[in-house]
Amino acid sequence: MVDRSMDPTTVEELATENPSEWASKHIRQYLASNGQDVDHRLADNMILLYTKGSRTGNIRRHPIVHLPDDDDLIVIASKGGAPDNPQWFLNLRANPRVWVRRKSDVFEAKAEILEGEEHQEMWRRITDWAPGFQEYQDRTERQIPLVRLTPVNQA
């Protein structure tokens, strides 16, 4: 379980294998290269997000694209425009304490789901940066969630 006493090595050791072959491939590439050599069109903006499973309590690891916003990271729960939200989003909604690996830096963060005007403004920034996300939105009836990850200062 994720708690303040967990260091980055512990989080990584406890992370379970992602069942998605697409995700597993990107995770392996990310870990092997500290995020420097990942076969993804937005690889420079990829992070690994560690969440606590909402049902199992297990640590889950997910490759996620982000957009920086000052010291925070904005992640997009697009799931390629699928009709349902990705599991990682359900996990962080249940437990907003997460861990992030950005290149070789691993840190704890607090997740906050963006709503209303803040969501709309950030959505415009995201689709200006990567128009493909609008195509994902057009494929689904749900509003694609955006989540702000704010680093937690470590003592």
Residue ranges of the domains in the chain? 8-151
Question: Max CA-CA distance within the chain?
Answer: 44
Amino acid of residue 84 = D
Q: What is the pTM of this model?
A: 0.88
pLDDT band at 31 (very low <50, low <70, confident <90, very high): confident
Written in H, E and C, the secondary structure of 79-104 is HHHCCCCCHHHHHHHHCCEEEEEECC
Q: Is 8-151 a CATH 2.30.110.10 domain?
A: yes
pLDDT tens by residue, 119-145: 999 999 999 999 999 999 999 999 999
Which residue reads 């992070």 in tokens?
47
Q: Which amino acid is at 149?
A: L
pLDDT tens for 68-119 read 999 999 999 999 999 999 999 999 999 999 999 998 888 999 999 999 999 9
